[in-house]
Amino acid sequence: MSFLSDVYAGLFYFAAFVLVAGLANKVIQYARTPAPLKIPTTPAPTTKTGVALRMTREVVFFESLFRGSKWTWIFGWMFHFGLFLVTLRHLRYFLDPVPLPIEMIQPFGIYGGIAMVIGLAGLWARRFLVDRVRYITALSDHLILALLITIGLSGLMMRFVVHTDIMRVKEFFQGLYVGQVHLLPADPLLLLHLLLVALLMIIFPYSKLLHAPGLFFSPSRNQVDNPREQRHIAPWAERLEQD
């Protein structure tokens, strides 16, 4: 089975590279593109601290979505918060020794996994049941949901139904840090789970998953409301003034 392990090792190196390089590329692009005008959606904070608080409320609680659509908020928040707990739980495979907080979060990671799948199912149901959402849904929107929900379900299956050899999985990933390929258990569920995770990492910088970095660069959310006090001008607009 070492061939399969090699393939997966290569896949994860590639996926990690695409994820990091692709995201870095996008973040640099966003950061370099000027925002020539002050366009915060008002009422907006008048200080940087206020903006940090507004952004925190958006990132942690999805404040705007809460105001916009309660059902989407419930399912969306369940999914994201669940995914967050699951990610924390999974850190035990990537850190050695496992820090105490990560050990303590383990059972919550399982609840997170369940919440994540329920949330995704709810979000997917909306794509069929609400005519407006059905209209705006592209094939890729279904596929991303299918990808995430399969990742979640295969993970839960391994926890509750068909266990895999977790210690060897951990060895495999620890080995990748130092360029060694350890044997990966050849359990179909595990291989499926890992394949889809790698796929998710690869499509991240090329899909709507860019909403994650995008939010931080959104001028309507991250700008301070102080246009009268402070002159705001983009480099390309400043050049117009020299004519």
Binding site for other proteins (CB under 8 A): 26, 29-30, 33-39, 41-46, 58, 62, 64-65, 67-69, 72, 76, 123, 126, 130-133, 135-141, 143, 203, 206-208, 210-211, 214-215, 217-221, 225, 227-234, 236-237, 240
Within a 10 A sphere around the Cβ of 204, how many other Cβ atoms? 20
Between 169 and 203, whose beta carbon lies closer to other proteins? 203
Please list, in sequence order, all residues whose beta carbon lies within 8 angstroms of the beta carbon of residue 31, skipping any fewer than 6 positions away. Answer: 217
User: Long-range contacts for 44-47 (Cβ within 8 Å, ≥24 apart)?
Assistant: 44/223, 44/224, 44/225, 45/224, 45/225, 46/224, 46/225, 46/226, 47/224
Both tokens assigned to 122: 């709810």
What's the min distance (Å) between Cβ of 209 and other proteins?
A: 8
Between 104 and 237, whose beta carbon lies closer to other proteins? 237
Both tokens assigned to 224: 């301070």
What's the min distance (Å) between Cβ of 50 and other proteins?
A: 8
What's the min distance (Å) between Cβ of 38 and other proteins?
A: 5
What's the min distance (Å) between Cβ of 31 and other proteins?
A: 9
Between 178 and 229, whose beta carbon lies closer to other proteins? 229
Which residue do the tokens 């928040």 mark? 77
Between 81 and 108, whose beta carbon lies closer to other proteins? 81
Taking the C-alpha atoms of residue 119 and residue 112, their distance in angstroms, rounded to an integer, is 10
Both tokens assigned to 77: 């928040």
CA Rg value for the chain: 21
CB 92 within 8 A of CB 103: yes
What's the min distance (Å) between Cβ of 112 and other proteins?
A: 20
Both tokens assigned to 65: 């979505």
Between 179 and 231, whose beta carbon lies closer to other proteins? 231
Between 164 and 223, whose beta carbon lies closer to other proteins? 223
What's the min distance (Å) between Cβ of 240 and other proteins?
A: 7
Both tokens assigned to 227: 């246009």
